[in-house]
Structure 1
Amino acid sequence: MSDYGFDTQQIHAGARPDPATGSRQTPIYQTTGYVFRDADHAAALFNLQEVGFIYSRLTNPTVAVLQERIATLEGGAGAVCCSSGHAAQVMALFPLMMPGCNVVVSTRLYGGTVTQMTQMIKRFGWSAKFVDFDDEGAIRDAIDDDTRAIFCEGIANPGGYITDLDAVGRIAQDAGLPLIVDNTTATPYLCRPIEHGATLVVHSTTKYLTGNGTVTGGCVVDSGTFDWSASDKFPSLSAPEPAYHGLKFHETFGNMAFTFHGIAVGLRDLGMTMNPQAAHYTLMGTETLSLRMERHCANAMKVAQWLESHPAVARVTYAGLPSSPYAERAQRICPKGASGLFTFELKGGYDACMKLIDSVELFSHVANLGDARSLIIHSASTTHRQLDENQQRAAGAAPEMVRLSIGLEDADDLIRDLDQALAKAAG
């Protein structure tokens, strides 16, 4: 559907009337298995000689529609959906890494991702090198012979920092490495990282893509542009695969190699499957993505401007503000808006943050983002609590900062709620 506009794609991509019933909305195919036509058909499916449905750990018709839709919206060749955003990050790294390999990552990441990169991946024998992605020289210096990928968030959680994807994409290309971009906060409506040099795009579909705080999910989108056979760094994709009688994924599937590997090996062995009901909720969410993101951005700008002028507020990190050091970058990377996520610093410090959160009435104190409802949280004591203070500050989650995820309510109502809560926090 590349000839259609975004608003059309977000409704129609991947979806066709159900062949059995004519249902216009994609049904929830709540099944674990699928009947094969005959023994030869089953053998061909298991040998990757034919595309089809085998078992819902691998493929499911409802999930398949969502995969095609997200790939279309991101401008990718294919996509693999999975159980959560964290699962998507592991799924993205799994075909690239081997014991002893490392990934160069931004310091500005969601706290759970920092923990994943510092602790969990060690159990696979992998490691991560944390770098300030505003320092292009430091990124280049961190890359060595064992580096297999570069990872960042397009709009970083929690502070809304904008990564210069064009610059990082050039570094990745020069090094012959895939760039993985978490596009959860921006969504493909505000930013399409593949157009800025990304090889892979990951999402927590839990957030803006679903948009209603009902189900968790993740997705990995492959650009289909990376040459996995250009070096010997990615044997999972370029070398013979023992489990499939020596099949070479890149040689066999071309620009769909990563996607097929993600399903045939990643989901098969890791089992991080998205359930069809979650896919259904997310499909319904994507149908209004552009409308919602426009409101999220407009509301966030209005609230951020008001907070910037409040006497109790030391600073606001929203990249959409003209005063932001990332305002020019936001216009270049996310020209339609800087999303609905940002932090602000209270002059009263940690204690004032706690009082503020306990005093809001309309905002919900929730460890999520991208909901239709406006959410508030103190990242340093919750989502980034496992980090030390230096890591928290590097990630944009200092103890004196409060994170807001601005929803779809009337912006004036949100401002009134923050105004009364700030007055109570000031004592």
Structure 2
Amino acid sequence: MASHTPVQPMKPRIPGRGSYSEVLRIGEILRKETVGGILLVATALIALVWANSPASDSYFALRDFKDGYEPWHLELSLGAWAADGLLAIFFFLVGLELKREFVAGDLRQPRKAMVPVAAAVGGAAVPALIYVSVNWASPEAVRGWAIPAATDIAFALAVLAVIGSHLPGALRIFLLTLAVVDDLIAIAIIAVVYTSDIHAQPLLFALVPVAAYALLAQKYRRFFGLKPAAAWLILLPIGIVAWALVHASGAHPTVAGVVLGFTIPVLRSQAPGGPGAGPGLAEVFVHRFRPVSAGFAVPVFAFFSAGVAIGGFEGFASALSDPVAVGVIAGLVLGKPVGIVGTTWLMARFTRAQMDASLKWIDLLGVALLAGIGFTVSLLVAELSFGLGSAANDHVKVAILTASLLAALLAAGILGVRNRHYRRIEADEQVDANQDGVPDVYDQGRGS
């Protein structure tokens, strides 16, 4: 009787190569986010120049101008409207992207998801611990411990798109997953830590439009016979009501964006009804709202949040000497790579995960440094921690901008060298020996 050697389960790779369709999807996201990242940087620079020009009073008057409907707690300044309202669009897409990754993306497989999720947790925890260690003596300053925990998706992906045209797709997938999970952690922190005065009645009322939104999103064809492209016209007003009620409850309204994003159905493959049925609701919403988020919502938020009166070189030096600024810079520039690479190494050392053969640890270090760009969410958490216009918040803004620039430059230096390395060896690889349009490396393990 012949003996059979037991087949050993395949070890998860760090970072996972991902499927070819996933690599193509990430590449498309990178191309779109490049424009958004450029707009983000441009609007932040305009705000900085304006806030430090002779016409600075007009900038702060514009930022602090109030308008809205007071009975629903919506009489907000333009800066608050950008943070509370426009960023809800951004976090709606974060919720959609995260759900898509775990429902239809490569991360629906736990062995592929565990490493980037663990790395995101480490990349949030270590910067927070560094910040706390620097500011331990001041209880008020410790309140900002979550500021260096977040990664800016648009900014980081824009830098990667510019310098990483030949980097392996595995690195791009790893960064996107890392950033999405990172932002989800930040949203959870905002919902739990920075929400103190909750009004139960509007929060309970908010469950009604959220439930209606979820039901209509899941059953829109049955109720209305609508195509996905028309369904958003009905869902959008319901979403706005849910957002307003969450805002009135005292919880940060960006949480409503994430919750509503999670209610949108994500298709595993082709939409029901066959090849002619067209894209699903999630794909339509991403197509419609990503340009609004990357091209308008996030840049406008950056414009109103990044403007800070530095006060020349002396003011700049004074801001960076503040312990809250030191904690933020150390957390983003040092804590992020230590947390991400360290957690990934621990996963490789004590689990069955192993580094993908096509990558080196220096590649992962470059991506981990890139994750130190903590722009959008870090600015939001800073305002929640210290209040708009406070001295501590202004110092933190300077620190966030400085740390994000340092992280981008350090990451660009490493990944730029690695990109040239992969570009040189790319021509020597057998790309499509099977002539099926899919590189051979993605055919490995699929079976014959």
Q: TM exceeds 0.5? A: no
Question: Which structure dedicates a bigger proportion of its chain to helix?
Answer: 2
TM superposition score normalised by structure 1 = 0.29
Q: Of the two structures, which has the highest relative contact order with CA contacts closer than 8 Å and spacing of 6 or more?
A: 2
TM superposition score normalised by structure 2 = 0.28
Question: Which structure dedicates a bigger proportion of its chain to strand?
Answer: 1
